[in-house]
Amino acid sequence: MALIELRDINKTYNNGQPLHVLKGINLDIERGEFVSIMGASGSGKSTLLNILGILDNYDTGTYHLAGKLIKDLSESQAAEYRNRMIGFIFQSFNLIGFKTAVENVELPLFYQGVPRRKRREMAMEYLEKLGLTQWATHFPNEMSGGQRQRVAIARALITKPEIILADEPTGALDSKTSVEVMELLKQLNKEEGITIIVVTHESGVANETNKIIHIKDGIIGQIEENAGHNAWDGTMMK
């Protein structure tokens, strides 16, 4: 069984007029893959990301994550699964402003009930890995965008999740930093075998991944193998 197994996922929003956003998604993602989900806004890629991240429910179909059926979970269960199986990287970093870098990184462990000392130790370890040791006690607003995103990546990694979900991870970064962040993700995938799913509308970003899943009007269009990173000529990356 694949790490992620989506079977005929349907999702309709009922805000006044029913909006059928996902129209039968079937998708398998294997352990260790580095894939991107690409689509224009309104294509349903955000909804798919929400479902993959157990942030939202779907109407029909099945979603298995690491062999577990993710369906009709209670809020607490969903929180538990998110905490243990998914690492999020957000476009706007989503660090908590009044917490230092190290406090932000250790927060997921806090919700796991890991003792304070152990938590701090692990958080420092991950910060070191991302070259942020000297920034540990700084607040997010004292750091650059790239540094913030690296803190966020450390936070996503600290629980050793099954998958990393990155939602437009370079959307708020300049082109140089964007490249750095994508390189970092690539490296994590390659050296540590971490499964990474990047959701983006930028071809340049998608091109860095090994597989590009195109989504359009709520269905999966083409799945492009991109091991050579030549789906795009790369010049479009801003």
Partner 1 sequence: MRDLINEIWNSVRNNKLRTALTGFAVSWGIFLLICLLGAGNGIINAFQGSSDRFVTNSMDIMGGRTSLPANGYKEGRRINLDRGDLEIIEGKEFQDQVDKVAPVTSGVSDKMALGVKTVSTSMQGVTPQYLEIEKIQMDKGRFINPLDVEQRRKVVVLSTKHEKELDRNLVGKWVSMQGISFRVIGIYHSDESDWRTSAYIPYSTMKGIFKPGEEIDDIFITFNGVSNLEESLELENTISSRLKAHHEAHPDDPNAIWIWNRYSQNAQISQGQRLISIGMWILGILTLISGIVGVSNIMLISVKERTHEFGIRKAIGAKPGKILSLIIAESVSITAFFGYVGMGIGMLACEIMDKTLGQRSMNLGFDTIKMMDNPTVGLDVALEATLLLIVAGTLAGLIPAWKAAKVKPIEALRAE
Candidates 17, 41, 76, 230: give the one binding partner 1 (CB under 8 A): 76
Using the minimum distance from each CB to partner 1, give the nearer residue, 89 or 231. Answer: 89
- Stretch of 8-16, 44-52, 181-189, 206-214 lying at the interface with partner 1 (CB under 8 A): 44-52
Listing DSSP states for the chain in one string gives --SEEEEEEEEEEEESEEEEEEEEEEEEE-TT-EEEEE--TTSSHHHHHHHHTTSS--SEEEEEETTEE--S--HHHHHHHHHHHEEEE-TT----TTS-HHHHHHHHHHHHT--HHHHHHHHHHHHHHTT-GGGTTS-GGGS-HHHHHHHHHHHHHTT--SEEEEESTTTTS-HHHHHHHHHHHHHHHHHH--EEEEEES-HHHHTTSSEEEEEETTEEEEEEE-TTS-SS-STT--
Half-sphere exposure of 5 (CA within 13 A, CB side): 9
63 lies in the site for partner 1, by CB under 8 A: no
Choice between 33 and 106, CB closer to partner 1: 106
Question: Does 108 contact partner 1 by CB under 8 A?
Answer: yes
Q: Would you say 26 or 77 has its CB closer to partner 1?
A: 77
Q: How far is the CB of 103 from partner 1 (least distance, A)?
A: 8
Rule CB under 8 A: is residue 55 a binding residue for partner 1? Answer: yes
From the CB of 86, what's the least distance to partner 1, in Å?
9
Q: Work out whether 57 is an interface residue with partner 1 (CB under 8 A).
A: no
| Between 46 and 189, CB nearer to partner 1 | 46
Pattern 160-179, partner 1, x by CB under 8 A: -------x------------
Give CA–CA dist 54/70, Å, rounded. 8
Amino acid at 199: V
Q: Which of 12-20, 49-57, 184-192, 206-214 is the region at the interface with partner 1 (rule: CB under 8 A)? A: 49-57
79 contacts partner 1 (rule: CB under 8 A):
yes
The residues of the shown chain that bind partner 1, judged by CB under 8 A, are: 46, 49-50, 53, 55-56, 75-76, 78-80, 82-84, 88, 90-92, 94-99, 107-108, 110-112, 116, 155, 159, 167
